[in-house]
Amino acid sequence: MSSGLLLQSIVLGVLLGGLYALLAAGLTLYFGIMRVVMIAHSAFLILAAYLAWYLHVQAGIDPMLSLVLTVPLFFIAGVAMQRLLLARLRPETRTMMSVLVTFAIALLIEGLLSYLFTGTQRRINLAYGAASLELFGARIAVVKLIAFGLAAAALGALYLLLAKTRFGWALRATMQHAEAARLVGIETDKVAAYGFGIGLATAAVGGTALALDSTIYPSLHWHWIGPLMAIIVVGGLGSIPGAAVAAMLLGLAESMLQIPFGTTWAQTVFYIVLFATLAFRPQGFFGGRLAQRF
């Protein structure tokens, strides 16, 4: 293995890990807010990618500009989903039933996408799509850097929102202890709904980043949901920093293992680490009180 190839796979791994981290942060938000496992997260990711592709093909809009449309749209969809579906499930069985409801939504999205756009693989052809940078012997496509920048910016914004704003404090309080949060005057229902909207908005950003440099097709979301689920369990359910670290490490591992083993076998690293984590440290590596109970 040449050092250039090694460096290239490290850089690609970090870039991929950034996208994983953003998406896993969304999943962690849902879980933290109301113990919901959101299977449809990656289906919304693909939906956003399709919207970006469609706007580009039909109107010639740059995928980055489609964010202006998809982010608010997904925020509203997230709030609606929380209010109309997930909040109405019985609290005792909510975790299990949320899996099924969001699974149903994922099927709906996949079915409608393949009905409208067929199963054909789609790709956005950008003027700068083929451009690449040379860094210490590693060739990195510009679109991958843009996608990473998008993911990093969104993750940074999410961090600032949670750490520095009153709404962020309210959201974190709701995640830690909803009843106590209500007692100090936080409107947890509203906060939970907005938190859900923010989670889904991360899928919109991720989808645009995905559309920039990948080929998309309706059933692609199954390839994303497995790794993402593994990441949030390994990181510790409900811990956003844990999810981000796990995403980076596993993204890097996948990218490095692709060289000796090929893409198919490299993906198994997520599941092997998932099984190992659950067998030896079921609460994950950064999980607190929350993770142990679920």
Partner 1 sequence: MGRTTTRRLLVARVARAVGLLALAFVILWFPAAAPNPYILSAAVMVLNYAVLATSWNFVGGFTGYISLGHGALAGLGGYATGLLITKAGFSSFVALATAALVVAALAVPLGFAALRARGASFVIVSIALVLILLLVFQGWASLTGGSRGLVVPRPFPDLLRPEHHEVFYFLFAALLGLVLLSWWLVDRSRFGLGLKAIREDEDKAESLGIPTFAYKLVVFVVSALFTALAGGLYALWFGDLDPVFQFSILSGSYVVLMSLLGGVRHLFGPLLGAVVVGVALEYFKVAYGDTPLHLVASGLLLGVVVMFMPDGVIPTVAGLARRFLHPPEASIREVSAAELEEARR
CB of 178 to partner 1, least distance (A): 16
CB of 7 to partner 1, least distance (A): 27
List all residues 6 or more positions away from 234 whose beta carbon is below 8 Å from its beta carbon.
Answer: 246, 250, 273, 274, 277, 284, 285
Point out which residues bind partner 1 (CB under 8 A).
31, 35, 37, 39, 85, 88-93, 95-97, 99-101, 103-108, 110-115, 119, 218, 222, 225-226, 229-230, 232-233, 237, 262, 264-265, 267-268, 270-272, 274-275, 278-279, 282-283, 291-294
3-state secondary structure of 125: coil
129 or 226, CB closer to partner 1?
Answer: 226
Cβ atoms 87, 189 nearer than 8 A:
yes
72 or 262, CB closer to partner 1?
Answer: 262
How many other C-beta atoms are found inside a 10 Å radius of the C-beta of residue 280? 7
- Alpha-carbon distance of 199 to 218, in angstroms, equals 21
CB of 157 to partner 1, least distance (A): 27
What's the half-sphere exposure (Cβ side, CA atoms, 13 Å) at 147?
A: 29
CB of 219 to partner 1, least distance (A): 9
Cβ atoms 98, 89 nearer than 8 A:
yes
CB of 156 to partner 1, least distance (A): 27
15 or 273, CB closer to partner 1?
Answer: 273
- Alpha-carbon distance of 181 to 187, in angstroms, equals 8
